[in-house]
Amino acid sequence: MAENDCLVYLNGDYLPVGEAKVSVLDRGFLFGDGVYEVVPVYGGRPFRLDEHLRRLDGSLHGIRMANPLPDDRWAEIFNRLINGEHDQYIYLQVTRGAAPKRDHAIPADVKPTVFVMCSAIAPIPISGVCAVTVDDIRWRWCHIKAITLLANVLLRQEAVDRNAAEAILVRDGWVTEGAASNVFAVIDGVLTTPPKGNDLLPGITRDLVLELAQENGVPAVERRISLDDLKRAPEIWLTSSTREILPVIELDGVAVGQGEPGPLWPRMQAIYQAYKQRLRMA
């Protein structure tokens, strides 16, 4: 099937992506007024679906919207769009919908726009990537997975312009997260990640890494990471739904550790992949 013929879900209909149309008055288009989720799929099964749907609820609550669909309806849509058992991901987006006129104030009685598609996951560069540190210029409610991602786009592009794969964001001397990832660092032998708060997205993969570390005797903690500590760390990782656990081998042009994935990463990578395999076999 050609990419343009792939089915997507839009407001109750399944149709080829090339035929999916949204009103120019949609508030997602005019204001970025909406939220999204990304759910990995392994072996034809959505990964930690309950956790992703709870985060969707939280994001919707944060922008004063109700969830337009019950969990079983979301699952039904996902299962219809999942194509085979290869690694893929579901992208879902909910906007406030199309209002009769453009007005910043939230309109009453507007029907949300609901969009879902499924795409293949790109291979993960397990040999490691380069990252750069940049000032965190985003708004103060980064715990909401909002579609207003212009700041993230500009920050990621700054990384690309500097021949790096990701921008690690720093606010007032403290690491928050990546432009599209959470951040881990090994500090004094302890796997460390910044604590949850309004300045970072509560990553599902982030939480799973902490959970798996605890279950497998890996010292891990949620604690603020200073920029100085990050630059001294022998291991730095990025985590996300589609990148899983990605080692950083160079930061701001300087090698991290020995300039290759450190000794803890392959251990956690094996633990994580075993967890995925159990899901595939369930």
Kindly write down the DSSP assignment for every residue of 211-262, as one continuous string.
Answer: HHHHHTT--EEE---BHHHHHH-SEEEEEETTTEEEEEEEETTEESTTTS--
Distance, in Å, from the CA atom of 247 to the CA atom of 258, rounded to the nearest integer, reads 12
229, 252 Cβ separation under 8 angstroms: no
Residue 152 gets which letter from DSSP?
A: H
207, 193 Cβ separation under 8 angstroms: no
Say what the pLDDT of residue 85 is.
87
Q: Where in the chain is the domain with CATH 3.20.10.10?
A: 129-281
Distance, in Å, from the CA atom of 221 to the CA atom of 214, rounded to the nearest integer, reads 9
Residues involved in catalysis? 145
Right CATH for 3-120 from 3.30.470.10, 3.40.50.720, 3.40.50.620, 3.40.50.1580: 3.30.470.10
Residues 6+ apart with CB under 8 A from 76: none
247, 261 Cβ separation under 8 angstroms: yes
Q: Where in the chain is the domain with CATH 3.30.470.10?
A: 3-120
In tens digits, the chain (282 residues) has pLDDT values of: 444 468 999 999 999 999 999 999 999 999 999 999 999 999 999 999 999 999 999 999 999 999 999 999 999 999 999 998 899 999 999 999 999 999 999 999 899 999 999 999 988 888 999 999 999 999 999 999 999 999 999 999 999 999 999 999 999 999 999 999 999 999 999 999 999 999 999 999 999 999 999 999 999 999 999 999 999 999 999 999 999 999 999 999 999 999 999 999 999 999 999 999 998 887
Say what the pLDDT of residue 1 is.
43
Partnered with residue 238 across adjacent β-strands are 183, 246
Which tokens belong to 258?
């020995």
Which tokens belong to 61?
């609550």
129-281 CATH fold:
D-amino Acid Aminotransferase; Chain A, domain 2 (3.20.10)
Q: Is the pTM of this model over 0.75?
A: yes
